[in-house]
Amino acid sequence: MSLIEDDCARKLKPCPFCGNNKEIKYVNDFYGLWVFWCPSCHAQTASEDDWNTRPIEDELQAEIEKRTAELHYANTACMEMKRELDRLNVEIKTTDDLLKEATETIGAVVACCTYNSNDDAKIGIYGIDEKAFTKIDQFITHYNDAVSASKVSVDVKRELSDAEINELGAQEAEKRDKK
Protein backbone atom coordinates (compact mmCIF):
# COMPACT_ATOMS: atom_id res chain seq x y z
CA MET A 1 0.00 0.00 0.00
CA SER A 2 1.43 3.39 -0.96
CA LEU A 3 1.36 6.55 1.17
CA ILE A 4 -1.55 7.76 -0.95
CA GLU A 5 -3.49 4.57 -0.30
CA ASP A 6 -2.73 4.66 3.43
CA ASP A 7 -3.74 8.33 3.75
CA CYS A 8 -7.00 7.77 1.87
CA ALA A 9 -7.90 4.61 3.76
CA ARG A 10 -7.96 6.55 7.02
CA LYS A 11 -10.48 9.12 5.68
CA LEU A 12 -12.84 6.83 3.81
CA LYS A 13 -16.11 5.48 5.08
CA PRO A 14 -16.92 1.78 4.48
CA CYS A 15 -18.07 0.81 1.00
CA PRO A 16 -21.55 2.26 0.43
CA PHE A 17 -22.62 -0.91 -1.36
CA CYS A 18 -21.22 -3.88 0.58
CA GLY A 19 -20.03 -2.30 3.84
CA ASN A 20 -16.42 -3.43 3.45
CA ASN A 21 -14.30 -1.10 5.54
CA LYS A 22 -10.85 -2.71 5.58
CA GLU A 23 -9.80 -3.07 1.97
CA ILE A 24 -10.86 0.16 0.24
CA LYS A 25 -8.02 1.16 -2.04
CA TYR A 26 -6.95 4.16 -4.02
CA VAL A 27 -5.84 2.59 -7.28
CA ASN A 28 -5.11 3.39 -10.88
CA ASP A 29 -7.94 1.97 -12.99
CA PHE A 30 -7.71 0.58 -16.51
CA TYR A 31 -7.91 4.03 -18.08
CA GLY A 32 -5.10 5.56 -16.06
CA LEU A 33 -7.38 7.35 -13.57
CA TRP A 34 -6.93 7.11 -9.84
CA VAL A 35 -10.13 5.85 -8.18
CA PHE A 36 -11.39 4.63 -4.83
CA TRP A 37 -12.12 0.95 -5.27
CA CYS A 38 -13.68 -1.83 -3.17
CA PRO A 39 -12.15 -5.19 -3.97
CA SER A 40 -15.13 -7.00 -2.41
CA CYS A 41 -17.85 -5.67 -4.70
CA HIS A 42 -15.71 -3.72 -7.23
CA ALA A 43 -17.53 -0.42 -6.64
CA GLN A 44 -15.46 2.59 -7.53
CA THR A 45 -15.60 6.38 -7.61
CA ALA A 46 -13.21 9.09 -8.66
CA SER A 47 -13.30 11.26 -5.54
CA GLU A 48 -13.20 10.82 -1.80
CA ASP A 49 -16.26 13.10 -1.46
CA ASP A 50 -18.25 10.88 -3.82
CA TRP A 51 -17.19 7.78 -1.90
CA ASN A 52 -18.04 9.31 1.48
CA THR A 53 -21.32 11.00 0.44
CA ARG A 54 -24.24 9.18 2.03
CA PRO A 55 -27.27 11.49 1.84
CA ILE A 56 -29.69 9.16 3.61
CA GLU A 57 -27.20 8.20 6.32
CA ASP A 58 -26.14 11.82 6.76
CA GLU A 59 -29.77 12.91 7.04
CA LEU A 60 -30.50 10.16 9.55
CA GLN A 61 -27.38 11.01 11.55
CA ALA A 62 -28.43 14.68 11.63
CA GLU A 63 -31.89 13.62 12.82
CA ILE A 64 -30.36 11.41 15.53
CA GLU A 65 -28.18 14.30 16.70
CA LYS A 66 -31.20 16.64 16.73
CA ARG A 67 -33.31 14.14 18.70
CA THR A 68 -30.42 13.48 21.10
CA ALA A 69 -30.13 17.22 21.77
CA GLU A 70 -33.92 17.45 22.29
CA LEU A 71 -33.82 14.47 24.65
CA HIS A 72 -30.96 16.03 26.60
CA TYR A 73 -32.91 19.30 26.86
CA ALA A 74 -36.07 17.43 27.98
CA ASN A 75 -34.11 15.43 30.58
CA THR A 76 -32.53 18.63 31.91
CA ALA A 77 -35.95 20.30 32.11
CA CYS A 78 -37.39 17.24 33.90
CA MET A 79 -34.56 17.24 36.44
CA GLU A 80 -35.11 20.96 37.09
CA MET A 81 -38.85 20.35 37.52
CA LYS A 82 -38.16 17.47 39.90
CA ARG A 83 -35.87 19.67 42.00
CA GLU A 84 -38.58 22.36 42.10
CA LEU A 85 -41.23 19.76 42.96
CA ASP A 86 -39.04 18.41 45.78
CA ARG A 87 -38.52 21.96 47.08
CA LEU A 88 -42.27 22.65 46.95
CA ASN A 89 -43.03 19.35 48.69
CA VAL A 90 -40.71 20.34 51.54
CA GLU A 91 -42.41 23.73 51.70
CA ILE A 92 -45.87 22.12 51.70
CA LYS A 93 -44.81 19.68 54.43
CA THR A 94 -43.52 22.54 56.57
CA THR A 95 -46.71 24.53 55.98
CA ASP A 96 -48.87 21.49 56.70
CA ASP A 97 -46.98 20.82 59.94
CA LEU A 98 -47.38 24.45 61.02
CA LEU A 99 -51.06 24.40 60.11
CA LYS A 100 -51.57 21.20 62.08
CA GLU A 101 -49.79 22.67 65.11
CA ALA A 102 -51.78 25.92 64.88
CA THR A 103 -55.03 24.02 64.42
CA GLU A 104 -54.38 21.83 67.44
CA THR A 105 -53.47 24.86 69.55
CA ILE A 106 -56.53 26.81 68.47
CA GLY A 107 -58.68 23.74 68.98
CA ALA A 108 -57.35 23.33 72.53
CA VAL A 109 -58.04 26.99 73.33
CA VAL A 110 -61.54 26.84 71.90
CA ALA A 111 -62.21 23.54 73.63
CA CYS A 112 -61.07 25.00 76.92
CA CYS A 113 -63.23 28.07 76.49
CA THR A 114 -66.20 26.18 75.10
CA TYR A 115 -66.24 23.38 77.65
CA ASN A 116 -65.80 25.69 80.59
CA SER A 117 -68.24 28.38 79.49
CA ASN A 118 -69.03 29.89 76.15
CA ASP A 119 -70.37 32.96 77.84
CA ASP A 120 -67.24 33.36 79.97
CA ALA A 121 -65.04 33.02 76.88
CA LYS A 122 -67.14 35.51 74.96
CA ILE A 123 -66.79 38.14 77.63
CA GLY A 124 -63.04 37.63 77.90
CA ILE A 125 -62.60 35.73 81.14
CA TYR A 126 -59.98 33.47 79.54
CA GLY A 127 -58.00 36.31 78.02
CA ILE A 128 -59.58 36.02 74.58
CA ASP A 129 -61.67 38.97 73.41
CA GLU A 130 -65.09 38.27 71.92
CA LYS A 131 -64.07 39.03 68.30
CA ALA A 132 -61.05 36.74 68.51
CA PHE A 133 -63.13 33.99 70.09
CA THR A 134 -65.75 34.33 67.34
CA LYS A 135 -63.09 34.15 64.62
CA ILE A 136 -61.47 31.10 66.24
CA ASP A 137 -64.86 29.44 66.60
CA GLN A 138 -65.71 30.15 62.93
CA PHE A 139 -62.32 28.86 61.82
CA ILE A 140 -62.78 25.60 63.71
CA THR A 141 -66.30 25.18 62.30
CA HIS A 142 -65.17 25.78 58.71
CA TYR A 143 -62.10 23.63 59.13
CA ASN A 144 -64.12 20.73 60.55
CA ASP A 145 -66.54 21.11 57.61
CA ALA A 146 -63.56 20.88 55.24
CA VAL A 147 -62.29 17.78 57.07
CA SER A 148 -65.75 16.19 56.82
CA ALA A 149 -65.82 16.94 53.09
CA SER A 150 -62.35 15.33 52.75
CA LYS A 151 -60.83 18.59 51.48
CA VAL A 152 -58.10 18.56 54.15
CA SER A 153 -56.33 15.76 55.95
CA VAL A 154 -55.86 17.25 59.43
CA ASP A 155 -58.67 17.02 61.95
CA VAL A 156 -58.80 19.66 64.66
CA LYS A 157 -60.78 17.60 67.11
CA ARG A 158 -58.89 16.97 70.25
CA GLU A 159 -59.68 14.56 73.01
CA LEU A 160 -59.10 16.42 76.29
CA SER A 161 -59.97 15.16 79.71
CA ASP A 162 -61.82 17.48 82.09
CA ALA A 163 -58.62 17.80 84.11
CA GLU A 164 -56.68 18.93 81.00
CA ILE A 165 -59.39 21.42 80.13
CA ASN A 166 -59.39 22.81 83.67
CA GLU A 167 -55.57 23.01 83.65
CA LEU A 168 -55.62 24.96 80.37
CA GLY A 169 -58.26 27.30 81.81
CA ALA A 170 -56.17 27.81 84.93
CA GLN A 171 -53.06 28.55 82.85
CA GLU A 172 -54.95 31.13 80.79
CA ALA A 173 -56.34 32.78 83.94
CA GLU A 174 -52.85 32.85 85.48
CA LYS A 175 -51.42 34.48 82.37
CA ARG A 176 -54.21 37.07 82.41
CA ASP A 177 -53.64 37.83 86.09
CA LYS A 178 -49.90 38.38 85.55
CA LYS A 179 -50.67 41.06 82.95
Please report the DSSP string for 80-123 in residue order: HHHHHHHHHHHHHHHHHHHHHHHHHHHHHHHHHHHHH-HHHHHT
Give the full edge-to-edge strand order of the sheet including 44-45: 25-28, 34-37, 44-45
Contact criterion met (CB below 8 Å) for 136 and 106: yes
Same domain, 46 and 97: no
pLDDT for 9 equals 47
pLDDT for 144 equals 74
Sign of the torsion angle spanned by Cα atoms 124, 128, 132, 138: negative
Tally of structural domains, the chain: 2
In a domain, 87, yes or no: no
- What phi and psi, each to the nearest 5 degrees, are found at residue 126? -95, 15
Contact criterion met (CB below 8 Å) for 122 and 141: no
Kindly report the average pLDDT of the chain as a whole number.
Answer: 75
pLDDT for 46 equals 80
In a domain, 60, yes or no: no
In a domain, 75, yes or no: no
In a domain, 71, yes or no: no
Most confident region among 66-75, 117-126, 134-143, 144-153 by mean pLDDT: 66-75
Full domain range(s) for residue 158: 92-178
pLDDT for 3 equals 38
Same domain, 108 and 169: yes
Most confident region among 8-12, 45-49, 142-146 by mean pLDDT: 45-49
Q: Say what the pTM is.
A: 0.39
| CB-based contacts of 93, cutoff 8 Å, min separation 6 | none
Contact criterion met (CB below 8 Å) for 25 and 37: yes
pLDDT for 6 equals 46
In a domain, 70, yes or no: no
pLDDT for 66 equals 97
Q: Could you read off the pLDDT of 28-80 as tens digits, one per residue?
A: 666 667 788 888 888 888 888 888 888 888 899 999 999 999 999 999 999 99
Looking at the chain, list the stretches that DSSP marks H as alpha helix, in order from N- to C-terminal side.
3-11, 48-52, 55-116, 118-122, 130-148, 162-178
In a domain, 66, yes or no: no
pLDDT for 1 equals 39
pLDDT for 78 equals 95
Same domain, 121 and 174: yes
Q: How far apart are CA 65 and CA 103, in angstroms?
A: 56
pLDDT for 156 equals 45
